[in-house]
Amino acid sequence: MVLLIDANVVIDYIMIRKPQYDDAIKLIDYCRKFKVKTYVAFHSVSIIWYILRKNFPPQERRPILLSITDLLTVTAAPHESVVDAINSEDFPDFEDCLQEKCALEVDADYIVTGNVKDFETSQVKAVTPAEMLEIIFNS
């Protein structure tokens, strides 16, 4: 199984945002323990950095992001996919379209996100962390 973890799930995990944190930590711990291939999109790293600035100074953000890159492999989409995303009218949010392109690049089975509705047109199925845990434990 291959997963692309959306920035919002990583932020829930780092910031201990309840109630989403409970499923985020269970999922990330499971993936680490059972060596599930998990990815985070390159552009999500900058989004996470930006969000964390409100609560953490740069000297604290760096180790946090490094620990995330120990858990999740950073991936990107090639130039052609980014151009395709720019031209796509399928996604109301360009950033979500980039998530899909990164998921396609690593042949992800799922995009794990807190905002499933934003991925209705995605070629890669989007699920919440709770739904992903249900898939894992019921298969």
User: Is 80 exceeded by the pLDDT of residue 110?
Assistant: yes
User: Is 80 exceeded by the pLDDT of residue 139?
Assistant: no
Q: How many Cβ atoms are within 10 Å of 71's Cβ, its own excluded?
A: 15
The pLDDT of 77-85, averaged and rounded, is 95
Least confident of 46-50, 92-96, 102-106: 92-96
Quote the domain boundaries for residue 51: 2-137
pLDDT, tens digit, for every residue of 11-63?
999 999 999 999 999 999 999 999 999 999 999 999 999 999 999 999 999 99
Strand order in the sheet with 2-5: 73-75, 37-41, 2-5, 110-112, 126-127
Q: How many domains does the chain have?
A: 1
The pLDDT of 68-90, averaged and rounded, is 95
* 57's tokens: 């100074």
Indicate the SS3 state at residue 91: coil
Task: Look at residue 40 in the predicted model and tell me its pLDDT.
Answer: 98
The pLDDT of 76-81, averaged and rounded, is 96
Q: Which residues contact 5 (CB under 8 A, 6 or more apart)?
A: 28, 38, 39, 40, 72, 112
CATH code: domain of residue 83: 3.40.50.1010
